[in-house]
Each structure stands twice: as C-alpha cells, then as structure tokens.
Amino acid sequence: MPKMKKKKDGTDYSLDEALKEAKQAKDSLEDMLRGVSDGEGFYQRKKLDKEPDKRIEPKLNHESKKEREKYEVTPPPKFEDIKSVKKEPSFIKKTGEMDLKGKDGENIYINLTDFFEELFEGYNQRYNQWEDSISNILSVLRKMRKITKKNTEDLVTSINKSYEKIDHGLGQFKLKRDEIEKIADVDVQSMSKEFKNVLGLLELQVKEYQLKRLTDELFHI
C-alpha cells in the first residue's frame, strides 16, 4: 500500500482529491486553449470587415509622372575632383623665365661648377700630398729598421768576441796562477783572504783615529 501524503495543516491527502484537482486543471487548460483559438481570452483577434472592391481608374502619363517624381529620391550632387595645384615658392620670381644670370651677366651654374671643380682639385692635391708624406715616412722607417737590425747584429757579434777574449784571458790567468803557486809553494787564495783581513783592520784603525780626533775637538770647544 502506498503511503498517503500529508497536507501542510497535518490532514491526510487522499488520492481522490488529487484526481479531482488534476481533472480541474485539465478542464481549465482546455477552456483557455479553446478561447485562444476562437479569439477570446488574453488575446482577441480583430475581425476585419470586408472592404468594398476599389476600381482602379486609368491615369494619364503626365499624372503618373508627377506622382513618380514626388516619390523619387534625388541623388546627391556630384562634386568635381579638385586637382592639386602646386604653388611655386615665394622666393621664385615669376618673370616668364628664371633669371639664371648674376649681376654681371654670368651664368650661376657655370660659376658653381667651376667652384666645385676647384674644390675637388684642392682636396685631390691635399690627398696626394698626404699620401706622399705617408710613403716617405714609411720608407724612412724601413731604412731605420734595416739600420737598427744591422747595428744589433754588429753589437751581438762584438759582445760575443769580447766575451771570448775575456774567457781566454781568464783561462790564461788561471794557468799562470797555478804555475806560480807551484813554483813559490804559496796558496794565492789564502793569501788573498789574509790580505782582505788586513785591509779590514786598517779600515777600523782609520775610523778609530777619526773618532778620537772628533772627540778632542769637541772637548777643547
């Protein structure tokens, strides 16, 4: 058994009442649709009376032309294309032909060409002078390089020769020294050391004498 729904006030909602309400809603919808189809209800269709037939009377050509002219749309007026007029600048005098001559009757363009030709010739001469000076400087530098190269080679050879001479002299000196030491039975190196010590003692004695002299001078003052 299906459960019975309850109304808001708490009473049971029976199936018969639901069927009655559905039937009432159906009847009301059918009545409303019938009224709309018949022109009744929310929107009522206007009933147009049949108008009597109007006979078309023939019109003359000039009358139809006048009526046509009333309803014709006049096209907008056409404007002619304005051609661009190039105005000459104010500094050009309108004297028929351009005055290309100066005060003395000479042509300006000829003078300008002469001026530019002389200017280019001057620049050309300066460039040639600059190029000649650069070439001269380079030639001088090449000569200096050759001279310095030769001088350095000569210097190196002279240094090598002097070194060989000094080395040969030292070798001869060592041989002579060794022979003298053998003959005299004396050690030159030990003698040189003792000689250095003697020189050191002499230097100390000289400094002592100078100090004593300075103290005597200060005491007498």
Q: What are the boundaries of each domain within the chain?
A: 187-221
The pLDDT tens digits of the residues spanning 70-116 come to 665 565 555 555 555 455 555 555 544 444 455 555 678 888 888 89
What's the number of CA atoms in the CB half-sphere (13 Å) around residue 99?
A: 9
Tell me: pLDDT of 194 over 90: no
Mean pLDDT of 187-204: 86
CA distance 52 to 48: 12
Mean pLDDT of 49-58: 52
**Interhelix angle 188-220/108-184, nearest 10 degrees:** 110
What is the model's pLDDT at position 8? Answer: 47
Tell me: pLDDT of 152 over 50: yes
Mean pLDDT of 206-211: 92
CA distance 178 to 172: 10
CA distance 221 to 212: 15
Query: Taking Cα atoms as reference points, which of 118, 96, 98 lies closest to residue 108?
Result: 98
Write down the H helix ranges in the chain.
Answer: 15-38, 61-71, 108-184, 188-220
Q: Are 116 and 124 in contact (CB under 8 A)?
A: no
CA distance 147 to 154: 10
pTM above 0.85, yes or no: no
Residue 35 CB coordination number (10 Å): 14
Distances in Å between the alpha carbon of 199 and those of 48, 100, 191, 194?
A: 161, 107, 12, 9
The pLDDT tens digits of the residues spanning 155-176 come to 999 999 999 999 999 999 989 8
